[in-house]
Amino acid sequence: MMHTSQGQEWLDVDLKVEKGGFSTFFGESGAGKTTLLRIVAGLTDPAEGYIEVDGEVWFDSKRKINLPVQQRKVGFVFQDYSLFPNMTVRENIRYALADKNQENIIDGWLAAMDLKGLEHERPQKISGGQKQRVALVRALVSSPKILLLDEPLSALDVNLRLKLQDEILKIYQKTKITTILVSHDLSEVFKLSQRVLVLEQGKIVKSGQPHEVFSNQNLSGKFKFVGTIVDIQKDAILSIITVQIGNNLTKVVATDEELKDLKVGDKVVVASKAFNPLLMKYDGR
């Protein structure tokens, strides 16, 4: 049972994640992605179920097995970083170090993640991107069997997000650690994951490679978004419809026939052939 904005809902899933693979839980907020991650980590207990990792049972409600968080060997990166404010960058990382005699592992990661000059700073002194790098390193030095990333980049601006995606990909390719990402950013899913599991209302409704899961839809239009009509202005033969898509307002012209069943507030699919849109380099203006 999980609590969502729609009230309580059952999370009911049966899934396997490939060892050494990069998988993503994708879905709207409230779909159960984070809850699922927390259950794997041992931060939330399911009502019933079974979790096995690499031959070791982490949870079995029938046999009353429930491995505590500390013994589960997961690296968890939260959206809000969750660094200890009273510790320096290095101390934050050392706290999670699996073998305290292996300080050189910390040095290696600090250098690889461009954090070398910041090791003695406290978290409040460093930027959001740097904090998330520290959180990543902290998760990695515990030598986890699984790396769990709960929308780790969603608080960062676009440029930083793209850069950190590259770094996550590099880390994954270097370590081949089994990674589960929670994301609702399609470009992130395509860039990072080999497999995506789509969650809706506590259930997995689709899974596969990103291009399989997201391409095989029934309209051939590739330039396709779901939005909400916020305004309709009539202008002679055509009307101009303002549609909010994410945080962007777009305008689409439509004939009376197209508008027949549509009114302000309706959800609509805005689609165009992939051949029409113009692409220009965005210079931030």
Q: Binding another protein by CB under 8 A: which of 21, 49, 128, 221?
A: 221
Q: Which stretch binds another protein (CB under 8 A): 69-77, 86-94, 122-130, 274-282?
A: 274-282
The reply on whether position 240 binds another protein by CB under 8 A is no
Q: Report in angstroms the alpha-carbon separations of 67 from 37, 39, 70, 117, 180.
A: 15, 11, 8, 38, 19
Taking the complex as a whole, how short is the minimal distance between the CB of residue 217 and another protein, in angstroms? 9
Taking the complex as a whole, the smallest distance from the CB of residue 243 to another protein amounts, in Å, to 15
Q: Which candidate, 77, 261, 101, places its Cα nearest to that of 156?
A: 77
CB of 267 to another protein, least distance (A): 17
Q: Cβ 180 to another protein, closest distance in Å?
A: 26
DSSP string, 113-142: TT-GGGTTS-GGGS-HHHHHHHHHHHHHHT
257 binds another protein (CB under 8 A): yes
Under the binding rule (CB under 8 A), the answer on residue 251 touching another protein is no
Does residue number 261 form part of the binding site for another protein (CB under 8 A)?
no
Task: Tell whether residue 249 is a contact of another protein (CB under 8 A).
Answer: no
Reading the block at residue 44, the tokens are 């939330």
x/- map, 162-201, another protein, by CB under 8 A: ----------------------------------------
Q: What are phi and psi of 28, to 5 degrees?
A: -70, 165
Q: Does residue 219 touch another protein according to CB under 8 A? A: yes
Cβ burial, residue 151 (10 Å; 0-12/13-18/19+): buried
**Best CA proximity match to 9, nearest among 226, 42, 27, 17:** 27
Closest residue by Cα to residue 254 from 239, 270, 267, 274:
239
Q: In the set 102, 127, 255, 266, which binds another protein (CB under 8 A)?
A: 255
Verify binding: residue 49, another protein, rule CB under 8 A: no
Other C-beta atoms closer than 10 Å to the C-beta of 99 total 10
**Separation of alpha carbons 204 and 141, rounded Å:** 31
237 near another protein, judged by CB under 8 A: yes
User: Which residues form the interface with another protein (CB under 8 A)?
Assistant: 211-212, 215-216, 218-222, 235-238, 253, 255, 257-258, 271, 273-276
